[in-house]
């Protein structure tokens, strides 16, 4: 096994052709993802990966992501209305911010991917909590034994996975009939149904489950980290609020804040690849590796390396982005990975988060108590997230 933050090795491994398959994702040792996202872009390699990528890419172009804005804004308005209703006549609201972000982003991805409103924001659905259960199961060490022995949590895990499959099957049937008022037009399922590839149901289910999972988890965590950092840096929050009032989501400082948050808390802090080719390979630095060698690339360490970011690499400083015209060209900024397998939802996540943060800051001034700040700890699940619930104080702006 190799654990590294070397940029040359990182570029070599992540830029290797996904079609040839010299370096692959390691097997899913928990057995959870292969059940939830089977026959999908997430679990495929080589020619199958290319097939899924070509199938899904048209749904996530810049043009398509911009067309998603009205639905995203409708969901944000629902969340803000719900938060304001919690306060009644008070001007201060105390909320579990990760929970609220998860409900919002799950409702957004539900409407965008299958045209269905889960109504998580209003507390009418527990589906997003079921996804949280699945994600927590995935990282339990005991899951590695699930191929040989039944585990106590299996019945609930399999029930929730069947539940998600059934939701997508219902959506497929309703959209094919075209008569349902529950499942409306959308950006992903309709595209898969109408594909010239004549897709089987398992391919559609696997890819829908993938985006229901990844499409809300990454965004929810990003929002939580942004809000936490803005609470700790009140002067930056105030400057951002002033900019947003004039420029809305087009504020330059908003871009810098999001980039800086992704730098400090990348969605995938560790990227794993294993050598699949049966022949040895020579990595940059004249490092020889053999078949099945596991390589762990620490994006988290790269993003905090003082050689790239300066002595304040561990500090939140969005102004470092002021003189960087194109963050995607930085070889040491890899929040969405690199190479051919770069995250397909990158543009969507950026557009969605800018819209949400803009409206939230226009409505509320965010604060955090010392007691809540002391609870802040991070850990890696499917993505980097917070370990404990964090309650923020939302002060209604007059």
Q: What own/partner pairs with CB < 8 Å and gap ≥ 24 does 229-235 have? A: 229/257, 229/260, 229/261, 229/264, 229/316, 230/257, 230/361, 230/366, 231/366, 231/367, 231/368, 231/373, 231/392, 232/316, 232/368, 232/373, 233/316, 234/367
Q: What is the pLDDT of residues 182-228, one digit of tens each?
A: 889 999 999 999 987 888 899 999 999 999 988 898 999 999 999 99
How far is Cα 378 from Cα 76, in angstroms, rounded to an integer?
Answer: 26
274, 23 Cβ separation under 8 angstroms: yes
- The alpha carbon of residue 43 and the mean position of all alpha carbons in its chain are separated, in whole angstroms, by 16
Cβ neighbours of residue 158 closer than 8 Å, sequence gap 6 or more: 35
Model pLDDT, residue 250: 93
Name the pairing type of β-strands 364-367 and 23-24.
unpaired
CA distances from 211 to 36, 134, 175, 207, 224 (A): 11, 14, 18, 6, 20
Q: What is the pLDDT of residues 320-349, one digit of tens each?
A: 999 998 998 899 999 998 877 888 999 999
The pair of three-digit structure tokens given for residue 138, joined into one six-digit string: 């995935």
The pair of three-digit structure tokens given for residue 168, joined into one six-digit string: 């997508």
How far is Cα 224 from Cα 386, in angstroms, rounded to an integer?
Answer: 8
How far is Cα 353 from Cα 262, in angstroms, rounded to an integer?
Answer: 12
Model pLDDT, residue 252: 97
CA distances from 30 to 1, 73, 148, 247 (A): 19, 36, 12, 45
Model pLDDT, residue 92: 86
- Taken in order of first residue, the domains within the chain and their CATH numbers are 2-396 (1.10.630.10)
Residue 343, marked binder:
yes
Facing residues of 294 across strands?
274
How far is Cα 367 from Cα 245, in angstroms, rounded to an integer?
Answer: 19
Query: At residue 295, what are phi and psi to the nearest 5 degrees?
Result: -120, 120
What pLDDT tens digit does each residue of the chain (398 aa) get? 899 999 999 998 888 654 545 888 888 777 788 888 888 888 888 888 889 999 999 999 999 999 999 999 999 999 999 999 887 667 889 999 999 999 999 999 999 999 999 999 999 888 888 988 988 888 888 888 888 888 899 999 999 999 999 999 999 999 988 767 788 999 999 999 998 788 889 999 999 999 998 889 899 999 999 999 999 999 999 999 999 999 999 999 999 999 999 999 999 999 999 888 788 888 999 999 988 899 999 999 999 999 999 999 999 999 999 999 899 889 999 999 887 788 899 999 999 999 999 999 999 999 999 999 999 999 988 789 999 999 999 999 98
How far is Cα 48 from Cα 134, in angstroms, rounded to an integer?
Answer: 25
């Amino acid at each position: 096994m190799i654990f590294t933050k070397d940029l040359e090795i990182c570029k070599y491994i992540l830029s290797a052709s996904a079609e040839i398959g010299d370096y692959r994702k390691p097997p899913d040792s928990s057995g959870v993802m292969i059940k939830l996202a089977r026959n999908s872009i997430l679990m495929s390699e080589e020619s199958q990966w290319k097939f899924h990528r070509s199938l899904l890419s048209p749904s996530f172009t810049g043009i398509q992501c911009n067309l998603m804005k009205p639905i995203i804004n409708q969901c944000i308005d629902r969340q803000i209305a719900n938060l304001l209703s919690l306060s009644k006549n008070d001007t201060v609201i105390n909320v579990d911010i990760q929970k609220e972000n998860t409900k919002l982003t799950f409702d957004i991805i539900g409407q965008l991917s299958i045209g269905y409103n889960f109504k998580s924001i209003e507390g009418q659905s527990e589906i997003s909590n079921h996804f949280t259960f699945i994600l927590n199961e995935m990282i339990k060490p005991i899951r590695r034994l699930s191929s040989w022995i039944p585990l106590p949590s299996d019945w609930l895990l399999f029930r929730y996975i069947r539940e998600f499959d059934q939701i997508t099957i219902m959506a497929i049937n309703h959209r094919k009939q075209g008569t349902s008022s529950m499942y409306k037009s959308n950006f992903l399922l309709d595209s898969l149904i109408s594909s010239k590839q004549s897709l089987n149901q398992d391919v559609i289910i696997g890819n829908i489950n993938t985006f229901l999972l990844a499409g809300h988890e990454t965004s929810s965590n990003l929002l939580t980290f942004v809000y936490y950092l803005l609470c700790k840096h009140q002067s930056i929050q105030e400057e951002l609020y002033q900019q947003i009032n004039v420029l809305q989501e087009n504020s330059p400082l908003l871009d810098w804040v999001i980039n800086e948050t992704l730098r400090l808390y990348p969605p995938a802090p560790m990227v794993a690849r294993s050598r699949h080719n049966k022949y040895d390979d020579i990595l940059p630095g004249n490092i020889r590796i053999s078949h099945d060698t596991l390589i762990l690339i620490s994006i988290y360490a790269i993003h905090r390396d003082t050689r790239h970011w300066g002595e304040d690499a561990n500090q939140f400083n969005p102004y470092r982005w002021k003189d960087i015209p194109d963050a995607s060209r930085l070889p040491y900024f890899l929040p969405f990975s690199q190479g051919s397998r770069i995250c397909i939802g990158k543009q969507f996540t950026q557009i969605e988060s800018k819209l949400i943060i803009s409206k939230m800051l226009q409505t509320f001034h965010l604060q955090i108590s010392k007691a809540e700040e002391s609870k802040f700890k991070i850990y890696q699940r499917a993505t980097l997230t917070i370990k404990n619930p964090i309650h923020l104080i939302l002060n209604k702006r007059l």
